[in-house]
Amino acid sequence: MSLRPYREIARRKSRQIRVGSVLVGGDAPISVQTMTNTLTTDVKGTLEQIRRAADAGADLVRVSCPDEDSTKAFKQIAKESPVPLIADIHFHYKRGIEAAEAGAACLRINPGNIGSHDRVRDVVKAAKDHGCSMRIGVNAGSLDKHLLDKYGEPCPEALVESALEHAKLLEDNDFFEFKIAVKASDVFLAVAAYQGLAKACDYPLHLGITEAGGLIGGTVKSSIGIGSLLWAGIGDTLRVSLSADVAEEVKVGFEMLKALDLRHRGVRIVSCPSCARQGFDVIKTVEALENRLSHVRAPVTLSILGCVVNGPGEARETMVGITGGGADSHKVYIGGSPDHNVDGKSMVDHIVDLVEARAAEIEAAKQKGS
- Residue ranges per structural domain of the chain: 12-259, 267-369
Residue 314 annotated as part of some ligand binding site: yes
Is there a shared CATH topology between the 12-259 domain and the 267-369 domain? no
pLDDT recorded at residue 233:
97
Residue 201 annotated as part of some ligand binding site: no
Q: Which class does domain 267-369 fall in?
A: alpha beta
User: Could you tell me the pLDDT band of residue 2, with boundaries at 50, 70 and 90?
Assistant: low
Q: Is it the case that residue 3 has pLDDT exceeding 80?
A: no
Residues 156-182 pLDDT 10s? 999 999 999 999 999 999 999 999 999
What is the SS3 assignment for the chain?
Answer: CCCCHHHCCCCCCCCCEEECCEEECCCCCCEEEEECCCCCCCHHHHHHHHHHHHHCCCCEEEEECCCHHHHHHHHHHHHHCCCCEEEECCCCHHHHHHHHHHCCCEEECCHHHCCCHHHHHHHHHHHHHCCCEEEEEEEHHHCCHHHHHHHCCCCHHHHHHHHHHHHHHHHCCCCCCEEEEEECCCHHHHHHHHHHHHHHCCCCEEECCCCCCCHHHHHHHHHHHHHHHHHCCCCCEEECCCCCCHHHHHHHHHHHHHHCCCCCCCEEEEECCCCCCCCCCHHHHHHHHHHHCCCCCCCEEEEEECCCCCHHHHHCCCCEEEECCCCCEEEEEECCEEEEEEECCCHHHHHHHHHHHHHHHHHHHHHHHC
pLDDT recorded at residue 87:
98
pLDDT recorded at residue 74:
98
Residues 195-217 pLDDT 10s? 999 999 999 999 999 999 999 99
pTM of the model: 0.91
Across 186-193, average pLDDT: 97
CATH superfamily of the 12-259 domain: Dihydropteroate synthase-like (3.20.20.20)
Residues 52-95 pLDDT 10s? 999 999 999 999 999 999 999 999 999 999 999 999 997 899 99
pLDDT recorded at residue 4:
72
Average predicted confidence (pLDDT) for the chain: 94
pLDDT recorded at residue 352:
97
Q: Is it the case that residue 317 has pLDDT exceeding 70?
A: yes
Residue 307 annotated as part of some ligand binding site: yes
